[in-house]
Structure 1
Amino acid sequence: MTATRADAPSPLWIGCPGCRRPLYGEHHRRALGVCAACGHHDRLGAPERLGQLLDPGSARPLPVPPTVTDPLGFTDTRPYPARLEQTRRATGLDEAVVCVAASTGGHPLTAAVMDFRFMGGSLGCAVGERITAAARHALEEATPLVIVTASGGARMQEGALALMQMAKTSRALAELDEAGLLTVTIVTDPTYGGVAASYATLADVIIAEAGAHMGFAGPRVIAGTMKQTLPAGFQTAETLLKDGLVDDVRKRPELRPVLAALLTAAAWARRGRPVPSHWRRSAPPLVRDPGELPVRDPWQTVTLARDPGRPTTLDYAGHLLEDFQELHGDRASGDCPAIVGGLGSLDGVPVMLIGHQKGHDTRELVARNFGMGSPAGFRKAARLMRLAAKLGLPVVTLIDTPGAHAGVEAETGGQAHAIAENLRLMSTLPVPVVAVVTGEGGSGGALALGVADRVLALGNAVYSVISPEGCAAILWRDPAAAPRAAAALGIGARDLLAHRIVDAVIPEPDGGAHRNPSLTAGLVKGAVTAALHELVSLDPARLLAGRTGRFRAFGLPA
């Protein structure tokens, strides 16, 4: 079913294009066009989409800027102006995008919603100018810009002028980046060509609706011109997610709450970055003197740090954060499952949480590559940190990895470059950064998330230049010497405090974090919120000066 004019009568019964089952029209409409039997998502027109995403009654149409109407005098089987007039009568729209000022969840926004019914949602001069004007309105009003895409590409009837709209709209989004304003794209089916290769994929967050397809060249073009056989799932939302090209895939009813959560996070810095007053006293008893820590066998500490029952980053996200929205992908090569991250609310304060993700059983450990990040993982982390910096949000990182993935694919993918870029990026982030070593802190794979204003560690965590096994194999030439290497490397909490690698140690529950994950999460939350209470009030210059001084001092006499 294709969306019809908003004032057209709805048919009593319709057939689902996905499963061919008959659906009662009114029920299907109330289900936002999603088939209750097979989950197929019908295409929505712009008016229906606005009604789905926005607060009722909040939409105010933006002024329509004038543009040329038929720059080429184009005629195929009929003149271009005649096609436009016919489409306007059929859809009740005057162009392929509707732009409004509105709100979602009470948060103001500027929205540009495309409609595929209008000449395939093609990008011509009018669409490009309206997208650009919407971005300018967002800039002037300091609101996020939300774009809903549905397009077959640039409008052929307007020739190279249509092509130029790609650059025009891309610059408009760049201006929002410079102003620190959130941009969100909701990709709907289909999104192709010049729209996909410009403003659709330049947003800070890209959410694909279930069933959407997106790409530059469409399947028929590729199959017809390149004579290539297309793989299963080609250009589908799910494949885009796996390939790291979108942040998430959501069913239609989930889009509005996800959008509201993103808008809530973006509004915090503009409200003056308030934090709860009780955070000042939220820290649990922290250990800052190494002499106050018990003397433990280093190898036993390594074993405790690696216990599969210890909370993972996603466990901490579930315990600590409300409305956690995991964001995926490096927008280039893939989505590394060993490093996860996203936005969530910590006592009402939005934070960007990023951390290594291991697992609690063999299946999950293998699926997560034992928490060993790939280049795509470190680039994903960098992308999320840049988004946090743009929006003025604190960054919290949780470190638990034996090290970066060591393999041919990682090396050819630029592992060293990705880690180095994170080190440089974190050293310059203008927002508070708090890192917690929750388990293993292995080599550069750990440090790539560890350049922070405050670095904390759980009592049984370890942090080292290399794993004990790797050190034993290289220097003792005997992997069995790993316990000796652990002792020699000074990887436990006492040594980390003594060398000021960490600022404080969070004592763990009796028996280790895995014995009481909920209590451990509470202790971590208290330590993190106390640190953020101190850091959020500092301006970027003081943050950067303190972070630079912290790392500049390593290796110098006390």
Structure 2
Amino acid sequence: MSERRSARELLALVTDAGSFRELPVPRRESAPDGPLAWQGYDASRARAAGRTGEEESVVCGSAEVDGSPAVLLAFEFGFLGGSLGERTGDRLEAAYAHAREHRLPVVPLIATGGSRMQEGMLALTQLQRVARQSALTREAGLPQIAVLRDPTTGGGWATLGAGADVVLALSGAQVGFAGSRVRPPDADPAAYTSQAQLAAGSADAVVRPEELKPVLGLWLRLLSRGAAGADADPGSAGGAGARAAGIAPAPVPAALGGGGLPRTGWEAVLRARAAGRPRAGAYLDAYFSARAALVGDRCGGTDEDGMLCGFGERDGRTVAYAAQTGAATRPAGYRTAARLIRLADRLGVPVLTLVDTPGAANDAEAERQGAGAAIAEVFGAVAAARVPVTTLVVGEGGSGGALALAAPGNTWAVPDSYFSVIAPELAAAILKRPPEEVEATAGQLRIRPQDLVELGVVRGISGP
């Protein structure tokens, strides 16, 4: 269990000194003991107010976090377990409306046990209000970054938490749809932790409290900048579609490997497969001055061994990236990349993709995890993107598993790379050729960078 802080204590921890301004509180007339006339409900609320100094289970306001402005929704767990009732819904709705009016990102700082039983179904329907406000905020092209505190359970997790664009979880926090009092008696408690949600692809990072302010500040800076540096006004009305037309593409990264162009197709294959050549991590480090990782497909999986996704800072602009690492890409990797591209498109951020894979994972488990559907998601996300996508082939370009990430009309290659309809060995096998003809087959496929330029598959070859 993580250290529990009150709403005000957490706000003091993450906001810049003196910057927090609490939003006006909507007033609602209520019947004695609430809408259900639950005996003793008024007394419970009075005791909670006396203990916490708050009138409700959430404190909403605007502030700066490491210099980045945002609207923060801080839950007070000491007030009836941070539960959501009608008055909570009123405050959240007003805060989201304020964020849209002033074009500010929204940061829910969640600590809740769920909906308030003393208000029955009227409390549960507050989740629909929250979901609507979140949807309107997405449509406005504004980011939502959730912070999961201890505990984050029930509808608060299923709307404000899991529905956010980026999910940061405090170390040691209890996180799960089912709270500790309603789980099956034989449930493994380790499944209901921030670390377990990270492993399952439902959170992007586990953060210690003392790290939260700089981490949250970086995310706010990256996601709030949107199309800054482009010709379009990032604050104009109309959402990402109106902004996308003026967004400059991400610059093509410089090639990091040495040597000239390969003489033969087989030489191109060998150089692309060389163990010592630069991989995605080296390219991202050279390209960005700062970056933050987006982890997980939100469907139960991660593939950090095969795909690196996130947002980075380059020359004062934000660029989203999806980069294959040289391994066979698994379904979770493709779904994470699709999630990244769709988010960047909504926020008006250009995208950089790095292609480097022998192909999509094709083992039985990958098929059970929906490999075809996951690859289709990426093809669809790239095809539908309104923001510019820039692609650099930095190693192996193996078949459709590589092509899914490639931007039509804006794909480039480095000298130590190749791009092929299929690996030369597999092509020879399909054509029933003996192993000694693999090298000749590589030449026939015309997979060298210079061949790809001539064929019009790539625009050009990136130099040092």
Please give the TM-score of this superposition, normalised by the length of structure 2. Answer: 0.90
- Find the counterpart in structure 2 of residue 296 from structure 1: 263
**How far has the Cα of 1:400 moved from its partner?**
0.4
- Find the counterpart in structure 2 of residue 346 from structure 1: 314
**Aligned pair in 2 of structure 1 residues 68, 451: CA closer, same or farther (>3 Å)?**
farther
Which residue of 381, 384, 407 corresponds with 1:425?
381
- Find the counterpart in structure 1 of residue 245 from structure 2: none
How far apart are the structure 1 equivalents of 2:319 and 2:228?
A: 15
**Aligned pair in 2 of structure 1 residues 272, 179: CA closer, same or farther (>3 Å)?**
farther
Name the SS for the 1:195 alignment partner: helix
- Find the counterpart in structure 2 of residue 22 from structure 1: none
**Contact (CA 8 Å) 1:219, 1:230: kept in 2 or not?**
no
Deviations 1:374-398 (A, max 9, x none): 2211110011111111111110000
- Find the counterpart in structure 2 of residue 128 from structure 1: 89
**Contact (CA 8 Å) 1:372, 1:403: kept in 2 or not?**
yes
**How far has the Cα of 1:421 moved from its partner?**
2.2
**Aligned pair in 2 of structure 1 residues 357, 108: CA closer, same or farther (>3 Å)?**
same
- Find the counterpart in structure 2 of residue 19 from structure 1: none
How far apart are the structure 2 equivalents of 1:189 and 1:480?
A: 62
- Find the counterpart in structure 2 of residue 209 from structure 1: 170
Structure 2 residue 398 is the aligned partner of structure 1 residue 442:
yes
**Aligned pair in 2 of structure 1 residues 96, 403: CA closer, same or farther (>3 Å)?**
same
Which residue of 9, 12, 15 corresponds with 1:54?
15
- Find the counterpart in structure 1 of residue 238 from structure 2: none
**Contact (CA 8 Å) 2:352, 2:391: kept in 1 or not?**
yes
Which residue of 187, 190, 208 corresponds with 1:230?
187
- Find the counterpart in structure 2 of residue 321 from structure 1: 288
How far apart are the structure 1 equivalents of 2:81 and 2:435?
A: 63
How far apart are the structure 2 equivalents of 1:240 and 1:285?
A: 36
Further displaced range: 473-482 or 297-306: 473-482
**How far has the Cα of 1:260 moved from its partner?**
1.3
How far apart are the structure 1 equivalents of 2:262 and 2:340?
A: 38
- Find the counterpart in structure 2 of residue 245 from structure 1: 202
**Contact (CA 8 Å) 1:435, 1:450: kept in 2 or not?**
yes
Question: 1:297 is aligned with what amino acid?
Answer: T
- Find the counterpart in structure 2 of residue 10 from structure 1: none
**Contact (CA 8 Å) 2:396, 2:419: kept in 1 or not?**
yes
Which residue of 194, 197, 217 corresponds with 1:260?
217
- Find the counterpart in structure 2 of residue 71 from structure 1: 35
Name the SS for the 2:137 alignment partner: helix
How far apart are the structure 2 equivalents of 1:244 and 1:62?
A: 34
- Find the counterpart in structure 1 of residue 419 from structure 2: 463
How far apart are the structure 1 equivalents of 2:253 and 2:155?
A: 54
**Contact (CA 8 Å) 1:274, 1:349: kept in 2 or not?**
no
- Find the counterpart in structure 2 of residue 142 from structure 1: 103
How far apart are the structure 1 equivalents of 2:301 and 2:401?
A: 18
**How far has the Cα of 1:172 moved from its partner?**
0.2
- Find the counterpart in structure 1 of residue 243 from structure 2: none
- Find the counterpart in structure 1 of residue 240 from structure 2: none
**How far has the Cα of 1:341 moved from its partner?**
0.8
Deviations 1:395-426 (A, max 9, x none): 00001000000011211222112212211221
**How far has the Cα of 1:68 moved from its partner?**
5.0
**Contact (CA 8 Å) 1:68, 1:125: kept in 2 or not?**
no
**Contact (CA 8 Å) 2:76, 2:82: kept in 1 or not?**
yes
Name the SS for the 1:198 alignment partner: helix
**The structure with more radius of gyration:** 1
Which residue of 380, 386, 396 corresponds with 2:336?
380
**How far has the Cα of 1:266 moved from its partner?**
2.8
Which residue of 91, 94, 104 corresponds with 2:52?
91
**How far has the Cα of 1:478 moved from its partner?**
3.7
**Contact (CA 8 Å) 1:472, 1:480: kept in 2 or not?**
no
How far apart are the structure 2 equivalents of 1:474 and 1:230?
A: 49
Question: 1:63 is aligned with what amino acid?
Answer: P
Which residue of 436, 457, 463 corresponds with 1:501?
457
**Contact (CA 8 Å) 1:470, 1:479: kept in 2 or not?**
no
**Aligned pair in 2 of structure 1 residues 465, 158: CA closer, same or farther (>3 Å)?**
same
Task: With a CA cutoff of 8 Å and minimum separation of 6, indicate the structure with the bigger relative contact order.
Answer: 2
**Contact (CA 8 Å) 1:433, 1:453: kept in 2 or not?**
no
Structure 2 unpaired stretches of 5+: 233-247
How far apart are the structure 1 equivalents of 2:254 and 2:393?
A: 17
- Find the counterpart in structure 1 of residue 355 from structure 2: 399
**How far has the Cα of 1:274 moved from its partner?**
6.7
How far apart are the structure 2 equivalents of 1:128 and 1:303?
A: 60
**Aligned pair in 2 of structure 1 residues 296, 170: CA closer, same or farther (>3 Å)?**
same
Deviations 1:194-245 (A, max 9, x none): 1112122111111111111211112442224xxxx33362121111111111
Question: 2:211 is aligned with what amino acid?
Answer: E
Question: 2:382 is aligned with what amino acid?
Answer: M
**Contact (CA 8 Å) 2:253, 2:283: kept in 1 or not?**
no
**Contact (CA 8 Å) 2:262, 2:415: kept in 1 or not?**
no
How far apart are the structure 2 equivalents of 1:208 and 1:482?
A: 50
Structure 1 unpaired stretches of 5+: 1-39, 287-292, 359-370, 508-522, 524-558
How far apart are the structure 2 equivalents of 1:235 and 1:43?
A: 17
- Find the counterpart in structure 1 of residue 301 from structure 2: 334
Question: 1:210 is aligned with what amino acid?
Answer: S
Please give the TM-score of this superposition, normalised by the length of structure 1. Answer: 0.76
**Contact (CA 8 Å) 2:262, 2:416: kept in 1 or not?**
no
Name the SS for the 2:439 alignment partner: helix
- Find the counterpart in structure 2 of residue 193 from structure 1: 154
- Find the counterpart in structure 1 of residue 407 from structure 2: 451
Structure 2 residue 42 is the aligned partner of structure 1 residue 81:
yes
- Find the counterpart in structure 1 of residue 279 from structure 2: 312
**Aligned pair in 2 of structure 1 residues 453, 162: CA closer, same or farther (>3 Å)?**
farther
Which residue of 319, 324, 329 corresponds with 1:356?
324
Higher relative helix content:
1
**How far has the Cα of 1:295 moved from its partner?**
5.9
How far apart are the structure 2 equivalents of 1:387 and 1:440?
A: 27
**Contact (CA 8 Å) 2:171, 2:194: kept in 1 or not?**
yes
How far apart are the structure 2 equivalents of 1:268 and 1:55?
A: 19
- Find the counterpart in structure 2 of residue 218 from structure 1: 179
Question: 2:441 is aligned with what amino acid?
Answer: A
Name the SS for the 1:396 alignment partner: strand
**Aligned pair in 2 of structure 1 residues 146, 284: CA closer, same or farther (>3 Å)?**
closer
Instruction: Output the aligned Cα RMSD.
Output: 2.1
Which residue of 114, 126, 151 corresponds with 1:153?
114
**How far has the Cα of 1:476 moved from its partner?**
2.4
Question: 2:230 is aligned with what amino acid?
Answer: R
1:160-199 mapped onto 2 (5 Å cutoff): 160-199=121-160
Question: 1:316 is aligned with what amino acid?
Answer: Y
Deviations 1:274-318 (A, max 9, x none): 79xxx99x98999xxxxxx85612212211101122222222222
How far apart are the structure 1 equivalents of 2:408 and 2:308?
A: 18
The number of equivalent residue pairs is 440
Runs of 4+ aligned structure 1 residues displaced above 6 Å come to 282-286
Name the SS for the 2:456 alignment partner: coil
